[in-house]
């Protein structure tokens, strides 16, 4: 069942690498990345649509298993469609949600999961940077 090429990554143009995929997709294992890339490129796809575009033949259950794993990871969405309840998969990450996911991961890795602590650190860094720029500007004016 063909759903259509309706990739809808909001028009800000913010994508990760030359491939145009969100960074979180680029960081996946090779086979998961290939499957997610099919869905992001098409916009919406069934398991059979994905299977038809893979470079190496995988069984239908293997493709479905990987698609479901990508749904669990927050990379894809899944919706039932039609009278037979066919699952349709779509991109879950927008530029905004990808940034939020990256910030939460950074906070988890470096600030014990505390977003307020991360925000304070960024504010402190910005304040020190602003002070440095002002000082440098004053020094140049004197010269």
Q: Note the pLDDT of residue 33.
A: 94
Q: Tell me how far apart the alpha carbons of residues 93 and 111 are, in angstroms, rounded to a whole number.
A: 24
Phi, psi of 48 (to 5 degrees): -65, -40
Domain boundaries, given as residue ranges, for the chain: 23-91, 95-142
To 5 degrees, how large is the angle CA 14–CA 80–CA 65? 75
Cα dihedral 51, 67, 20, 107, rounded to 10, equals -160
Q: Domain 23-91 classified CATH 1.10.10.10?
A: yes
Residues 16-65: tens digit of each pLDDT:
444 678 888 988 999 999 999 999 999 999 999 999 999 888 999 999 99
Q: Tell me how far apart the alpha carbons of residues 39 and 88 are, in angstroms, rounded to a whole number.
A: 10
Banded model confidence at residue 8, pLDDT cuts 50, 70, 90: very low
Residues 66-99: tens digit of each pLDDT:
999 999 999 999 999 999 999 999 999 877 777 8
């Amino acid at each position: 069942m063909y759903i259509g090429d309706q990739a809808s990554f909001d028009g800000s143009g913010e994508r990760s690498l030359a491939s145009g995929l969100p960074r979180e997709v680029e960081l996946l294992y090779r086979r998961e990345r290939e499957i997610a890339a099919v869905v992001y490129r098409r916009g919406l796809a069934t398991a059979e649509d994905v299977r038809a575009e893979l470079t190496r033949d995988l069984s239908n259950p293997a493709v479905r298993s990987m698609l479901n794993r990508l749904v669990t990871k927050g990379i894809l969405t899944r919706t039932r469609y039609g009278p037979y309840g066919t699952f349709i998969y779509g991109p879950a990450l927008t530029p905004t949600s990808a940034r939020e996911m990256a910030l939460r991961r950074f906070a988890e890795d470096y600030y014990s999961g505390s977003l307020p602590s991360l925000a304070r650190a960024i504010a402190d860094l910005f304040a020190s940077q602003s002070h440095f720029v002002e000082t440098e500007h004053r020094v140049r004016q004197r010269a």
